[in-house]
Amino acid sequence: SVTSAIAAAREHGDLRENAEYHAAKEQQGFTEGRIQEIEAKLGDAQVIDITKISPSGKVVFG
């Protein structure tokens, strides 16, 4: 996991010149950004009850 990679990189000492640490922090930033994107999409989602849709009704995705 990203957290494990950061912890392992910290054990190597000086963080200013630690490429493993910087790579792990970059990955963490990417992962957190992705989480925010997914949470935003889920926040816009609407749950539908298929039992309330008539057989001739339409469901549109997009």
Q: For residue 27, what are the contacts with CB-CB under 8 A and spacing of at least 6?
A: 2, 5
Residue linked to tokens 């996991």 = 1
Instruction: Flag whether 13 is in a domain.
Output: yes
Instruction: Flag whether 59 is in a domain.
Output: no
The tens digit of pLDDT for each residue in 42-53 reads 999 888 887 887
Please report how the helices 2-10 and 19-44 are oriented relative to each other, as an axis angle in degrees rounded to 10: 160
The tens digit of pLDDT for each residue in 18-33 reads 788 888 889 999 999 9
Residue 62 pLDDT > 80? no
Instruction: Flag whether 54 is in a domain.
Output: no
pLDDT at 57: 65
Instruction: Flag whether 32 is in a domain.
Output: yes
Number of domains the chain is built from = 1
Domain containing 23 equals: 2-49
Q: Do the beta carbons of residue 2 and residue 31 sit within 8 Å?
A: yes
CATH number of 33's domain: 1.10.287.180
Q: Do the beta carbons of residue 24 and residue 9 sit within 8 Å?
A: yes
Instruction: Flag whether 41 is in a domain.
Output: yes
